[in-house]
């Protein structure tokens, strides 16, 4: 484990040679500011929200979402579906040092670690242990929100390709939004070529991020993708081999 800038702990993956979160932005802060809060604000009028969390990892996005909804929309129905390739990691999270904000979620952490799922009156969580590419093909017009938070395109390209985002788009509702920490042109191109509008998520205390939407948004600055393409004619989206 390694303490990140906001005091929360993250971990390092030897397989991917990356930390699970930005140590500069902070593990909890990154989840909240790049994923949970912007997605919540854009979908807060919905009484029920279905979220695809790619990938479960240390569970920060899922747990921070539950904590945030409990505090800000306690009666809202929340469904979270999350694929994760590393089964041993999920099992080990019962002993992970989470931030104090997650203390009240201990029952949920233990249920997910032991059984891969949790459900109560308002919350349903399913962690799928296996291939994310195959998992997302199970869904059509299902999700209101997608957290695209896999390891970076440079080390895990299969979860950032144009074909991958085509499957993601099929799994999303017509008014759904996708959040990601990546601002790489290749990532944005893979989304743009699937018909997404691309927006800049920018603010204090975190580095720039991206929001993609199947519909136009007024709350965020639209990225001029035609200009980006004209200025970078040799850059293209990642593709499946």
> Which tens digits make up the pLDDT trace of 128-144?
999 999 999 999 999 99
Query: Where residue 17 falls among pLDDT bands split at 50, 70, 90?
Result: very low
Tokens linked to 26: 């902070």
How much is the average pLDDT of 164-184?
98
């Amino acid at each position: 484990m390694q303490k990140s800038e906001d005091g929360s702990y993250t971990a390092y993956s030897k397989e991917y040679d990356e930390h699970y979160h930005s140590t500069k932005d902070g593990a909890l802060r990154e989840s909240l500011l790049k994923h949970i809060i912007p997605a919540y604000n854009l979908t807060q009028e919905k009484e029920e929200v279905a979220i695809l969390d790619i990938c479960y990892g240390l569970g920060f996005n899922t747990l921070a979402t539950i904590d945030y909804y409990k505090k800000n929309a306690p009666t809202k129905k929340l469904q979270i579906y999350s694929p994760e390739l590393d089964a041993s990691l999920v099992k080990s999270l019962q002993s992970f040092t989470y931030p104090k904000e997650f203390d009240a979620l201990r029952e949920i952490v233990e249920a997910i670690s032991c059984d891969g799922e949790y459900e109560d009156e308002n919350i349903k969580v399913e962690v799928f242990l296996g291939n994310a590419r195959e998992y997302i093909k199970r869904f059509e017009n299902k999700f209101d929100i997608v957290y695209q938070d896999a390891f970076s395109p440079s080390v895990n390209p299969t979860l950032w390709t144009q074909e991958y985002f085509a499957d993601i788009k099929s799994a999303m509702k017509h008014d759904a939004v996708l959040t990601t920490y990546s601002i790489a042109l290749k990532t944005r191109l893979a989304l743009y070529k699937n018909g997404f509008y691309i927006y800049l998520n920018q603010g204090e205390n975190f580095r720039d991020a991206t929001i993609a939407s199947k519909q136009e948004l007024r709350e965020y600055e639209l990225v001029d993708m035609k200009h980006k393409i004209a200025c970078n004619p040799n850059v293209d989206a990642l593709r499946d081999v």
